[in-house]
Chain A
Amino acid sequence: TAGITQAPTSQILAAGRSMTLRCTQDMRHNAMYWYRQDLGLGLRLIHYSNTAGTTGKGEVPDGYSVSRANTDDFPLTLASAVPSQTSVYFCASSDSFRVGSNEQFFGPGTRLTVL
């Protein structure tokens, strides 16, 4: 089972350019999440989606947008990248409707550098 896949693995992007980070899960989980990981700050939630067709803002949503057209895919878009968006981005999913269990499963991450 693939679990969660993310693409690309890494990317160097010029400031001002747009980019979409892709995330796909094959576990039929209802909930999906995007985090960024920065040294000394741990993981911070950018956006989340509890079900297909719905999204919500996390702790650090500014400069990012998401969509959830179906259960499996949850792309993250940077409309106009800035250097402060240099980070490692992790996608995660969970079966949050299952009572007593909201373990999140993580993808391998995308390392993004904005110059």
Chain B
Amino acid sequence: AQSVTQPDIHITVSEGASLELRCNYSYGATPYLFWYVQSPGQGLQLLLKYFSGDTLVQGIKGFEAEFKRSQSSFNLRKPSVHWSDAAEYFCAVASGTASKLTFGTGTRLQVTL
């Protein structure tokens, strides 16, 4: 069965600092990988996704993620964090076009000014 691990429950960074959120997955074949963001009291919004091809994926709001098959990882990065990036971030994996997503437990990002 597929699974996703987000080892960091809570991360605090200063505004303007770089950010990396970790995500490790377990899946036998090539996975479909996603990062979603959830602002307080809101639903989830897709930041970026990986299906195939270039392992460095660009998303919205200046985020990017890199798929590393050898490490079973799909870490999310941003070079300079803004206070508005404070939110909860979820990594998810899907098995092909079956499209059922398995989510990680999330990482809550706090941004200090």
Contact = CB atoms under 8 A, between A and B. Distances in A.
A42 B105 contact: yes
Contacts, number: 56
Most chain A CB inside 10 Å of its own CB: which residue of B45, B97, B102: B97
A65 interface: no
A102 B106 contact: no
A109 B100 contact: no
Nearest to B32: A102
Interface residues of B, number: 24
A102 to B, nearest CB: 3
B90 A42 contact: yes
Contacts of B106: 42
Contact of A31 (B49, B99, B104): B99
Interface string B30-43: 00101010000011
A44 to B, nearest CB: 8
**Which one of A35, A99, A100 has the greatest number of beta carbons of chain B within 10 Å?**
A100
B40 to A, nearest CB: 11
Nearest to B43: A106
Interface residues of A, number: 28
B25 interface: no
A43 interface: yes
Which of B9, B43, B90, B97 neighbours the largest number of chain A CB atoms within 10 Å of its CB?
Answer: B43
A102 B34 CA distance: 10
Q: Which of B34, B99, B100, B102 has the most CB of A within 10 A?
A: B99
Given A31-B99, A42-B106, A102-B32, A108 B90 contact: no
Given A101-B51, A102-B32, A41 B105 contact: yes
Nearest to B51: A100
B43 A48 contact: no
Contacts of A105: 46
B44 to A, nearest CB: 4
A13 interface: no
B74 interface: no
B99 A94 contact: yes
Interface of B: 9, 32, 34, 36, 42-46, 49, 51-52, 90, 94, 97-106
